[in-house]
Structure 1
Amino acid sequence: MVSADFFERAGGEQTFRSLVQRFYDGVALDPVLRPLYPEEELEAAADRLALFLIQYWGGPTTYSQSRGHPRLRMRHAPFVIGAAERDAWLRHMREALDSLQLPEDVATPIWEYLRMAAESMRNSHT
């Protein structure tokens, strides 16, 4: 978890909600990622990701209060996540992050975390 100071420098909750919304705008049209989300899950998945990122980057702990420990690998285990899924996820995250035009000292650590998280979710070598 990161400090509240970073969260504020990043722009607070609105920054992370915007990041996630822009990310899911891409996911909704992506032939690799879209099949992983039933229609009724897109909005709920976006909310969960936003709450997780808000908490991780120093904001309110709403995610843990409502869902418990993140257990990201366990929560993603039912989905086949290989190189293609990782790369598509990162492509949409990169586009979403770039669209926010955050200062480099904010964008870089967020991107480094997202790259690490995407790789750690891989559970297939396809």
Structure 2
Amino acid sequence: MTGEGSSGAQRPSTGGEPPVPAEAAPPAGTASSPSAGARSALPVERLVTAGQGFSQPQYTDNFYETVGGHATFVKLVDAFYDGVANDDVLRPMYPEQDLGPAKERLLLFLEQYWGGPKTYGEQRGHPRLRMRHMPFRVGPQARDHWLQHMRAAVDSLGLAPLHEATLWDYLDRAAHSMVNAAD
């Protein structure tokens, strides 16, 4: 390539096209218009072929992986059940002395729901949350206790605001949908 300003100067190409001679190329940063009556030249940066220069935003990626995968959901479930263990309203709803099996079920459900392993469905079938909670009297007071412990658990994760809001929105709606009795 010859020095700048010489008659043999060429502009570098983009996208694998051959170099364009400087005298035939539009000014840097613009595209030539096809006719005198056409719109004025647009910055080249705005002329992007569909699909080029676009990457999918992080919030549409797999939520499970984005927030930390298995470790994050274990932390969430452990923190939640730490609160449930000493809750006089919620603890009686768990027939097992050991909360371990309940923790495992919630962990597997949440992991599958948010894009992780499909173990819950393989072991237990469709979640059928309302049906599975029907044997228990879930009134507004139980819902509020559940939400209190789950809020503390979500807060313990330190998620990015968008991820925290996404997770909390689901959990809040799920808790309200489980109410099957008046207090």
Query: TM-score, normalised on structure 2?
Result: 0.65
Structure 2, gaps ≥5 residues long: 1-59
Structure 1, gaps ≥5 residues long: none
Greater RCO, 1 or 2 (C-alpha within 8 Å, sep 6+): 1
- Which of these residues, 22, 31, 52, is aligned with residue 109 of structure 2? 52
Match of 2:102, as an amino acid? A
How many residues get paired? 124
- Which of these residues, 77, 82, 85, is aligned with residue 28 of structure 1? 85
Contact 2:62 2:114 in 1 (8 A): no
Question: Against the structure 1 CA distance between its residues 123 and 49, is the aligned structure 2 distance closer, same or farther, given a 3 Å change threshold?
Answer: same
Match of 1:122, as an amino acid? V
User: 1:50-104 CA deviation, whole Å, 9 max, x = no partner?
Assistant: 0000000010100000000000000000000000000000000000100111111
Alpha-carbon RMSD: 1.2
Query: TM-score, normalised on structure 1?
Result: 0.94
Larger C-alpha radius of gyration, 1 or 2?
A: 2
CA distance in 1, matches of 2:166, 2:107: 17
Matches within 5 A, 1:9-88: 9-88=66-145
CA distance in 2, matches of 1:49, 1:4: 23
In the TM superposition, structure 1's runs of 4+ consecutive aligned residues that sit over 4 Å from their partners are none
Matched, 1:95 2:152: yes
